[in-house]
Amino acid sequence: MEAARDGRSFEKLHLGQYEWKSYADAFKTVCNFSSGLVRIGHQRDERVAIFADTRAEWQIALQACFRQSITVVTIYSSLGEGALCHSLNETEVTTVICGRKELKKLLDISGQLDTVKHVIYVNEEGVSSEVSLAQKCTSWRVESFEEVERLGLETPVEAKLPLPSDTAVIMYTSGSTGMPKGVMMSHRNVLAVVSAVMTIVPALGKKDVYLAYLPLAHILELAAETVMSAVGASIGYGSPLTLTDTSNKIKKGTQGDASALKPTLMTAVPAILDRVRDGVRKNVDAKGGAAKKLFDIAYSRRLAAINGSWFGAWGLEKHLWDMLVFQKVRAILGGRIRFILSGGAPLSGDTQRFINICLGAPIGQGYGLTETCAGGTFSEYDDNSVGRVGAPLPCSYIKLIDWAEGGYLTNDSPMPRGEIVIGGPNVTKGYFKNEAKTNEVYKDDERGMRWFYSGDIGRLHPDGCLEIIDRKKDIVKLQHGEYVSLGKVEAALSVCPYVDNIMIHADPFHNYCVALVVVAHSELKSWASQQGITYSDVSDLCEKQETVKEVLQCLAKAAKQARLEKFEIPAKVKLVPEPWTPESGLVTAALKLKREAIKKAYEDDLAALYS
């Protein structure tokens, strides 16, 4: 534990080096755990829920269930009590595999769970108190992961492998638009995407090391790890809070996950890449002087080259800048990254170029949804364009359909625009026990092809690449008839250095929009120091009129750069000092905004902005 200046204590970790398990050893563990599940009384027609952070045991448990043709229910470890109850009861889960903090959550709602009979916990420090409580206060059979594995080793059970059409996973969405829905994925769906992605990234294989830290309950991470297993790459497990040497939970002077692992491949959501960009820029600005000038020159020279200029930094000059400037930046993620897959949300062109130059690695942007098993489009390895998400994967078909209400038509010039519809063997079965919603967004055509209507708006470039430009659910019509695309405006304004997170709110009964801005503490404090503004804490600073004025001016500048219309620029803002985290219930595990939850939490503030 480390004590902060205000007297609060924070847990800091000294993680040490990675310990490795061969694929042969992992397979033995899978077989043993698979047999152990049967031995503790889990029936093949019953479902197992994995309710834990990303770790090796998560993946081992998943493969063990598949070996017995058991359907797995995946649940975000950050899910709230109501959504957790709903997910477990709806799927009639009988066995839950969890970590220590997830076991604590289960105990809090034990009286509301209808079907749970077995709980398998991963051995962690301090878990014994929760185990004792579970054994004392519930009727569950509680076993450790190792005990189940040992049971299977002592009395092996023959495998019962699944059919391609069997349901592999019921994946619950993160609930950004309400109660989570369970998406039913077949083994055929998963393999269709895996085999398609393997054709896109060159030379995937045993020499690669993949850093796994995003939630495995998210389809992006699950698909990525399945690809890594398929090609025999090494997988090292980490977490967003221990990712780099300066991450919140890493003890100063010790290594984060990336430094210890030195990965060659990783996936990331835009929010993570934005933080890497902001962190590098903050360090460069803090150094100032010659170091900042050198970085700015190197960056502008490489940017010119990437944008196609013959007068940019190429050849020997490129290598010189790499050695002098960018080598230190690349050490943040271990120094060996050769490819990053970004997905889950649109990535800004500014961040994409920054990562391309500073980390020296291409970013593959993908577009897909839980409902399409992450399959949809994927940019080519050598595609340097920004703002696009690539051409259709070999397993997917993409078509656009008119959305006249929003003004997006397939006969638009210079490029067709419309709602994105995805078809192919990667399109999933539908929503568990929700036939009405399934029939609303899934359709089968006369040839038997299954299509999913995404609700996202895209445009198709002449070379067949897709660009995401809007979302039907995020569009609000103002009092005078103008349409505001909330997600588009948020993406444009998030480049403002004072913004850690932002939600645009538009009331249809008014002619302007407003914003809730979660402030970037270091940037705001730095500005206040330069202006000679005194304040007691960040909350006090956020209340000052000069601070609000400064942030509004910064947002207006970002809006001008993005060429937003006047009605798209927030007229008023509320500055929020507390970060929005999955634990707060205001963002999903993939860091997407939960609009309804945020609106409810800040109901009075939003009303005041319109008063």
**304 and 350 together in one domain:** yes
**355 and 219 together in one domain:** yes
The CA-based angle 400-406-407, given to 5 degrees, is: 75
Structure tokens at 552: 């509004």
Instruction: Determine the pLDDT at residue 368.
Output: 94
Instruction: Determine the pLDDT at residue 3.
Output: 55
Contact 67, 91 (CB under 8 A): no
Instruction: Determine the pLDDT at residue 524.
Output: 94
The answer as to whether 37 is a domain residue is yes
Query: Domain with 556 in it: what CATH number?
Result: 3.30.300.30
Cis peptide bond upstream of 414, omega within 30:
yes
User: DSSP readout, 518-546?
Assistant: EE-HHHHHHHHHHHT---SSHHHHHHSHH
Structure tokens at 377: 């489009």
The answer as to whether 173 is a domain residue is no
Strand pairing category for 234-237 and 265-268: unpaired
Instruction: Determine the pLDDT at residue 374.
Output: 94
The answer as to whether 465 is a domain residue is yes
Read off the amino acid at residue 33.
Answer: F
Distance from C-alpha of 42 to C-alpha of 36, rounded to nearest angstrom: 9
The answer as to whether 185 is a domain residue is no
Query: Domain with 262 in it: what CATH number?
Result: 3.40.50
- Single out the residue in 341, 361, 381 at which a domain terminates: 361
Q: Which contiguous run of DSSP H or E holds residue 140?
A: none
Alpha helical stretches, state H, 138-261: 145-154, 187-197, 219-231, 257-261
Instruction: Determine the pLDDT at residue 5.
Output: 53
What sign for the dihedral angle of Cα 493, 500, 586, 93? Answer: positive
**266 and 328 together in one domain:** yes
**59 and 34 together in one domain:** yes
**202 and 237 together in one domain:** yes
The answer as to whether 516 is a domain residue is yes
Alpha helical stretches, state H, 91-218: 100-108, 128-137, 145-154, 187-197
- Single out the residue in 108, 141, 162 at which a domain terminates: 162
**491 and 465 together in one domain:** no
Distance from C-alpha of 177 to C-alpha of 399, rounded to nearest angstrom: 25
Read off the amino acid at residue 610.
Answer: Y
The answer as to whether 16 is a domain residue is no
Instruction: Determine the pLDDT at residue 533.
Output: 93
Query: Domain with 131 in it: what CATH number?
Result: 3.40.50.980
| pLDDT less than 70: residues of the chain | 1-10, 174-178
Neighbour-count burial for 575-604, b at 16+ CB within 10 Å, e otherwise: bbbeebebeebbbbbbbbbbbebbeebbee
SS3 content of the chain, % helix, strand, coil (to 5): 40, 20, 40
**435 and 292 together in one domain:** no
Instruction: Determine the pLDDT at residue 298.
Output: 92
Provide the residue range defining the domain that includes 430.
Answer: 392-472
The answer as to whether 367 is a domain residue is no
Neighbours of 396 (CB within 10 A): 24
**205 and 327 together in one domain:** yes
Contact 77, 174 (CB under 8 A): no
Distance from C-alpha of 370 to C-alpha of 366, rounded to nearest angstrom: 13
Q: What is the pLDDT of residues 337-371, one digit of tens each?
A: 999 999 877 787 888 899 989 988 889 899 999 99
Three-state DSSP state, 353: helix
**398 and 343 together in one domain:** no
Distance from C-alpha of 578 to C-alpha of 596, rounded to nearest angstrom: 18
**72 and 113 together in one domain:** yes
Distance from C-alpha of 37 to C-alpha of 402, rounded to nearest angstrom: 50
**29 and 123 together in one domain:** yes
- Single out the residue in 111, 144, 162 at which a domain terminates: 162
Evaluate if pTM is beyond 0.75: yes
Q: How many domains does the chain have?
A: 4
**350 and 466 together in one domain:** no
Neighbours of 222 (CB within 10 A): 26
The answer as to whether 45 is a domain residue is yes
Size of the chain in residues = 611
